[in-house]
Amino acid sequence: MGLRVKVLATLVLVMFATLTTRLWFLQVLAAEQFKREAKDNAVRLIEVPAPRGVINDVNGEPLVDNRASVVITINRQALGDQTERVLFDLSQLLDVPADELGSRLDDPRYYVFSPIPVAIDVPKRVAYYIKEHWIDFPGVDVLQVPVRRYPSGSVGAHVLGYLGQVSKDKLKDPGFADYEPGDLVGVSGVESYYERDLAGTQGLVKYRVNSAGRNLGRIGEEQPPVAGNDVTLTIDARTQELTEGSLKAGIEHARTLVESESGYLKANAGAAVVLDPQTGAIEAMASFPSFDPSVFTRSISENEFKRRFGWARGRPLLNRAIQGQYPPGSTYKPFVAASALQREIVTTGHYYPCPGTWTAPFDESDPDAMQYVFNNWTAADLGSMTIATALAKSCDTIFYPMGYRYWDLFYVNDDELANDVVSHEPMQRDLGAFGFGSQTRVDLSFEQDGRVPDAEWKKTIHDLYPESFPEGEWFPGDFILMTIGQGDTLVTPLQLATAFGALENDGKICVPHVLDRVVAPDETVVREYQQNCRRVRIDERHLRYVRDALTGTVTGGGTAGAAFAGFPFDAVWVAGKTGTAEVDPKQDYSWFAAMTAGGGQEHVVVVLVEQGGHGATTAAPIARHIIEGIYGLEFSQFTDIEGTD
């Protein structure tokens, strides 16, 4: 029996050996790792948000600043098995359904251990209640954080942009290495483009915490946050408000108009740009429909986002001035004319016929030859006229032959290409020189390229998308349609404004911009915007000729003559161009581009209204209204103007 007791004792001895071995491993061999883990456990880094820089208009008037908001965050880990009860209690306090709070907690963008904001702008009463009853709210924290405030409401919303939680893609970007899930970042506009200036550096405080995340006091020195720099824009709040107001009023007026067989104009959207041609400074940039940027100070669900900003609402977040790409229609003609003059395809001394139709040259000996007939915007024969008058009256049938001449003179076909003849497409190059077909490099995010089509592009896009682009070959018709800004040509309103700036400026073309200067919180100037201008390689005399010709648009028999009836041209010089772009199957898109000067200032004004009918009908009166406002003239009323191109 004694032996068996010893057997049992031996078994127990094995137990001791096992435990001691494991203890030796944990406490001696792996101790360093566990010491680190214990330390990490008990120390929490709290990021103190840096006040974001203020965005001011050119006169120093704040467009965006900050206010303090009380935010409630929840740490999922600390909730434990009390999740349901805590969410229920919070939902009672905040008057938000518990499921909704729960769905915010499920946000996959956060780490398990990071606190998730579930409510913003919480009333003080609720904040105090939670602080007093902290023991009933494990993992729930009440914080004061600065949030964006918009003193002028939605004015300049598209330029200013808004903030949102940093996306997963951005987090992978090494440029955003110092960002963490849940951090706010500029998502669009100036907020996005000047993120680095505005953001500042967040402060860090180390706290000792217990397992419930309860703060037990600070460890060491606090690293205070560094406030972001302020940004002063070239945007003038008054001009911006005027531009937005004019665009909206003009669009609303357009919706009362009936044009042709398609009934009331839809005038669903639009954009307007006002810039200083001398510097490229953007004074106003409007996009319709607009949005209220303060919506983004709280987190909104995907559903709400879709409801507010989806297709059904006309995608109001889109800044159509830089993101909308449209056929320019006849607003393109001044640049085509300048190119044609430069290439000696037309001359200033000549008179050209302006019939109701023009037929592209064809092989007259072949009875089966296809005849391509191109219509003018009016069926009437307007007689013979100079290029200047052709611009003022927007005669398509004078421009079509120019396009054909480009084909005739310069186009290098495949056979010639095979023999190493270098293709140079002078019309495309000249248009490119005015900035078409590539980004203006404006200091705003998500700018689009526009499109100046050429043979190579046409072939490439056909190979890529044979369904949408069934034709891969370059034809004379491509040049012909390009002369009137149709076919595959696309521009953004800002590109057009920049190009008209060059026209007003004798060929000096400046990169458009909204930044004036960046100012540190102590008011020292960190940097000023450096103008970036170059020359368009077209003779000044041709540019002047075209510019002067465009004064004819707004007077007498010009296409916008009626729209500018009674305008005080003695006080303010105005030249411009209407455009009526066809976008099958929609109603015509209405364009007007104006150059103005007076009282020592110069402004380019470009207006586009989607499905706004003729250029003279909708866009020109809006442009006029903006010009009247800028120069302090008496406002005219929006009246019904008969459509001309």
Partner 1 sequence: MEVAAGKLMVRERRSIRHVDPILVAAAIGLAMIGLFAIYSATHQSLAAVGLDPGRFVKRQVTFLAVGAVVLMLALSFDYRLLKVYAGMIYVSSLVLLVLVRTPLGTSVKGAQRWFELFGFQLAPSEIAKLALIAMLATFLSELRGDLTLQDVFRTAGLAALPAFLVFLQPDLGSSIVFVAILVGMLVVAGARVRYLGVLALTAVALIVGGFQVGLVREYQIERLQAFLDPASVSQDALHNRDQAEIAIGSGGLTGVGYLQGSQTNLDFVPEQHTDFVFTVVGEEFGFAGAATLLALYGVLLWRAFRVALFSRDPFGTYLAAGIASMLALQMFVNVGMNIGIMPITGIPLPFVSYGGSSLLLNLAAVGLLINVHMRRFA
Q: Write out the residues near partner 1 by the rule CB under 8 A.
A: 1-2, 4-9, 11-12, 15-16, 18-20, 22-24, 26-28, 30-31, 33-35, 37-39, 41-42, 80-81, 135, 208-212, 216
What DSSP letter does each residue of 260-288 carry, written as one string? Answer: GGG-B----EEEEEEEETTTTEEEEEEEE
Q: Phi first, then psi: what are they for 533, rounded to 5°?
A: -125, 155
Please state, in angstroms and as integers, the Cα–Cα distance from residue 67 to each residue in 94, 144, 149, following that order: 21, 10, 6
* Choice between 210 and 347, CB closer to partner 1: 210
Which of 274, 269, 311 has the alpha carbon at shortest distance from 290? 269
Provide the minimum distance between the beta carbon of 40 and partner 1 in the complex, in angstroms, as a whole number: 9
Smallest distance from the beta carbon of 135 to partner 1, in angstroms?
Answer: 7
- Tell me how far, at minimum, the Cβ of 132 lies from partner 1, in Å: 14
Q: How far is the CB of 22 from partner 1 (least distance, A)?
A: 5
Nearer to partner 1 among residue 9 and residue 418 (C-beta) = 9
**E strand or H helix at 608, and its extent?**
strand 601-610
Does residue 639 contact residue 617 with C-beta atoms inside 8 Å? no
If one counts every other C-beta atom within 10 angstroms of the C-beta of residue 601, the result is 13
Residue with smaller CB distance to partner 1, 37 or 642? 37
> What's the closest the beta carbon of residue 105 comes to partner 1, in angstroms?
14
Cα–Cα distance measured from residue 491 to residue 123, given in angstroms and rounded to the nearest whole number: 48
Q: What angle do CA 543, 334, 514 make, to 5 degrees?
A: 80
CB atoms within 10 A of CB 118: 24
> For residues 269 and 314, is the Cβ–Cβ distance under 8 A?
yes
Q: Is 395 helix (H, G, I), strand (E, B) or coil?
A: coil
Pairing type for strands 384-385 and 352-353 reads antiparallel
Instruction: Compare residues 43 and 525 and give the one whose CB is closer to partner 1.
Output: 43
Please report how close the Cβ of residue 23 comes to partner 1 at its closest, in angstroms: 5
CB of 121 to partner 1, least distance (A): 31
The distance of closest approach from Cβ of residue 292 to partner 1 in the complex, given in angstroms and rounded to an integer, is: 41
Q: Cβ 7 to partner 1, closest distance in Å?
A: 6
Q: Which is nearer to partner 1, 10 or 359 (CB)?
A: 10
Query: Least Å distance between CB 27 and partner 1?
Result: 4
User: At what angle are helices 396-410 and 333-342 packed, to 10 degrees?
Assistant: 40
Q: Minimum CB separation from partner 1 for residue 79, in Å?
A: 11
Q: Which is nearer to partner 1, 16 or 311 (CB)?
A: 16
DSSP 4-42: HHHHHHHHHHHHHHHHHHHHHIIIIISHHHHHHHHHHHH
State how far the Cα of 453 lies from the Cα of 469, in Å rounded to an integer. 12
User: What would the two tokens of residue 136 be?
Assistant: 């009933």
Residue of 539, 509, 485 whose CA lies nearest to 341: 539
Our CB check for partner 1 shows the closer of 24 and 128 to be 24
383: left (phi over 0), alpha (psi -120 to 50) or beta: left
Cβ nearer to partner 1, comparing 13 with 526: 13
Length of the chain: 645
Return the number of the residue (149 or 214) whose C-beta is nearest partner 1: 214
Closest CB to partner 1 among 211 and 460?
A: 211
Q: CB nearer to partner 1: give 12 or 422.
A: 12
Question: What does residue 183 show for φ and ψ, rounded to 5 degrees?
Answer: -65, 150
Residue 571 CA to its chain's centroid (Å): 34
Q: What is the DSSP string of 92-149?
A: HHHT--HHHHHHHHT-TTS-TTS-EEEESS--HHHHHHHHHTGGGSTTEEEEEEEEEE
Contacts of 3 (CB under 8 A, 6+ apart): none
Q: Which is nearer to partner 1, 30 or 571 (CB)?
A: 30
Q: How far is the CB of 205 from partner 1 (least distance, A)?
A: 17
CB of 43 to partner 1, least distance (A): 9
Structure tokens at 91: 């939902």
Of residues 210 and 256, the one with the C-beta less far from partner 1 = 210
